[in-house]
Amino acid sequence: MRIVILDGSAANPGDIDWKPLEALGEVVAYDTTDQADVVARTKGFECAITNKRIFGREELEQLPDLKYIGVLATGYNVVDLDCCRERGIAVTNVPEYSTFATAQMTIAHMLELANKVGLHNRAVHSGEWVTSEQFCFFKEPIVELWNKNLHIVGLGKIGKRVAAIAGALGMSVTATVHRDPGTDVIDCHGVPVRVVPLEEGFRNADIISLHCPLTDETAGIINESAIDMMKQSAMIINCARGPLVDEAAVASALRSGRIAGYAADVVRVEPMLPDNPLLGCPNCSLTPHIAWAPVETRIRLISMAADNLKSFMEGGELNRIV
């Protein structure tokens, strides 16, 4: 099996290895690949491993040798599945490899909004503690999370893990779910989570955390009208998908003091555009889509991708989409 990895540096910038895939065949790995070079670099290979490089109909029809596309992520919208079905090309993804890491990043952002660790760290290193007249100083108010209300939108594996950690911090947790769970309370690793309508969740929450998929119904779920329902002290966290949020509405709310904070690991267009309205906003914590990226998580991702390919080579259908 000849295997080409097209945009490998996202998952492996050089601190881990491709050994699980190398055990399955000849591997050629590129750190990055321009979309225009996808066909040229994939020609002659039976297997392509991609993260964000697109395999549309135009590309697929020029790749007669291609038998398998392994998406090095959970989402697989970069592949034209209908064309793959027509051409007999198998497609797999890697689901649920980053549940713990994404929950961890969500809580990290929550703590940053509440404790302002980054702000005070920078102040200390700039000498403000050295010149302080008191034994301590506060740049901005710090919020205690105990007894605060967390509302989770989307209670899948990540949302449930976030609920469990929030419960350990002494928070009460509610959630809005897509499908009727058949119960008013869902047990999330020992933490009871009350299911409520979205509007009720928005009105009562001190912190809102998004963990739902991006669909026509959820796109822009955080918008001006949603913000109008919230407490002025509310904080919003998005470690799911950028387009769930109307970023202009959030930026306006932050600048006016209508909400107390916003944190995100994702934005509508990635890499972030220079005119993104969130840039420079007060009480805004942003990370560059790295919730999935701890070393252990990326090692797991590559190992699971290799398991998928090995299954295909042996006639199996592990994590097979097409």
End-to-end Cα spacing for the chain? 19
Tokens of 102: 């994404």
Would you say 256 and 281 are in contact if contact means Cβ atoms under 8 Å apart?
A: no
Known catalytic residue: 85?
Answer: no
Phi-psi group of 94: left, alpha or beta (phi > 0 → left; psi -120 to 50 → alpha; rest → beta): beta
Q: How many CB atoms lie within 10 A of CB 238?
A: 27
Contact present, 3 and 49 (Cβ < 8 Å): yes
Where would I find the H helices in 67-156?
Answer: 81-87, 99-115, 117-125
Angle in degrees, CA 172, 173, 174, rounded to 5: 135
Dihedral angle of Cα 41, 47, 49, 54, to the nearest 10 degrees:
60
Say how far residue 19 (Cα) sits from the centre of its chain: 26
Q: Of 199, 217, 270, 296, which residue is the catalytic one?
A: 270
Report the chain's C-alpha Rg in angstroms: 22
270 counts as catalytic: yes
Return the closest-CA partner of residue 35 out of 19, 52, 11: 52
Catalytic residue among 53, 120, 211, 241: 241
Q: Confirm whether 241 is a catalytic residue.
A: yes
Catalytic residues: 241, 270, 289
